[in-house]
Amino acid sequence: MPIATVNPATGETLKSFDSMGSEEVERRLATAETAFGAYRTTRFDERARLVLRAADLLDGDRDDIARTMTLEMGKPVSAARAEAAKCAKALRWYAEHAPALLADEEPAADDVHDSGADRARVLYRPLGVVLAVMPWNFPLWQVVRFAAPALMAGNVALLKHASNVPQTALYLEDLFRRAGFPDGCFQTLLIGSDGVEKVLRDRRVAAATLTGSEPAGRSVAAVCGDEIKKTVLELGGSDPFVVLASADVERAARTAVTARTQNNGQSCIAAKRFIVHTDVYDAFAEQFTAGMRELTVGDPLDEHTDIGPLASEQGRSDLEELVDDAVRKGATALCGAGRPEGMDQGWFYAPTVLAGITVDMRIHQEETFGPVATLYRVRDLDEAVSIANDTPFGLSSNVWTRDDAEVERCVRDLQAGGVFFNGMTASHPALPFGGVKRSGYGRELSGHGIREFCNVTTVWHGAEPSGS
């Protein structure tokens, strides 16, 4: 895949970049190794000063970088500005909280003495150079939610971003440079996916994190497993949105529209499968479908646009195949199910609701990356949980109920990294983020995320002989 900015609203190539050669990649690896040797010994207050400076710069750049993201991957510009603001918030959160999250721990005195020690501590020390392989759908946020904790922990970062967002990738390197980080602390590698394995196998790379597709995750995990290097993987999701009989149906339907179509529907944590109790199914389906129909599809640089184009022509083709397969096998399209009329340029797809989903349809098991929702009618909570779990993924989940017993049942039985009640899944710096099953492993954000790339070190001091 060429490294280029291609406007998904028009298909026009705006800017192309040459892939970095082996000599430049080697130079950057060497620079990263040197940078870590010094940066790992810096104090938290110095790291925080740099991270806070990056947050301030990002705030000032918000409009410009939002436009860049929109031109590169098609999200509505208002959503792009919100993404930039969220990144600045995360930078500030980690600057404030990292010292406490990585504070030395002291075991209980009785346990220390029982181990034969006079004293003992547990320290969190940085691992080294961490390679981040990141996707295009949240081109700023996906990187910052890795970089903020990694840099505050004393690691240094190499970024291999998606090939269709090169200008955002280069902006991130420039952002941390302007913030005053030492040379080599954060660098972008403009390389294709075929160049990732060589970097992963380099002795100077200590660990890797990847957000992306299941095949990409398998590839990175296999290489790092062979090299015995730590990985964190955040892969696909086919999140259930369960609406039970006691739910506030009007609010659930209104929220469902946003939950499905955020980021033009191209989000791992977007709700995708809407599993609705039969008692409220008809009311929910009517209101949800009406809300999807009312969305404005158009130029993502227009402030009034709700849904922009999909990020790539291939992405739209993949979505079309899933919808066509479902309709061919008996699904009913309550709205959409095609390209919007009169929009001949760009990779647009109409907001779509499909009902009558059966297990033989590909869309029942595969992730839909676009504004397409599937509706299921269920008799009771048992059936709802069964369908919710009938997926290879387990990233997050949404449940609408006012019944405490149903809350406890869903917390116990839903196979996901998160359960969000009476609201839509969202990420926040204070809350761990990640999944189970084929959605990956490890956690980003919160204290769990900052410790993923730390050497958890036991420091033990033997007791002095009595009378010495």
The residues carrying an active-site annotation are 234, 268
User: From start to end of 55-145, where are the E strands?
Assistant: 117-126, 129-133
Nearest to 141 by CA among 127, 161, 155, 156: 161
Residue 156 host element (H or E): strand 156-160
Q: What angle do CA 363, 367, 372 make, to 5 degrees?
A: 65
Q: Which of 120, 98, 92, 122 is nearest to 43 (CA)?
A: 98
Select from 250, 352, 366 the least CA-distant residue to 297: 352
Round to whole Å and give the CA distance between 1 and 309. Answer: 19
Determine phi and psi for 270, rounding to 5 degrees.
-65, 140
State the Rg of the chain over Cα: 24
Residues pairing with 246 in the sheet: none
User: What distance in Å separates the CA atoms of residue 70 and residue 77, rounded to the nearest whole number?
Assistant: 6
How remote is the C-alpha of 99 from its chain's centroid? 24
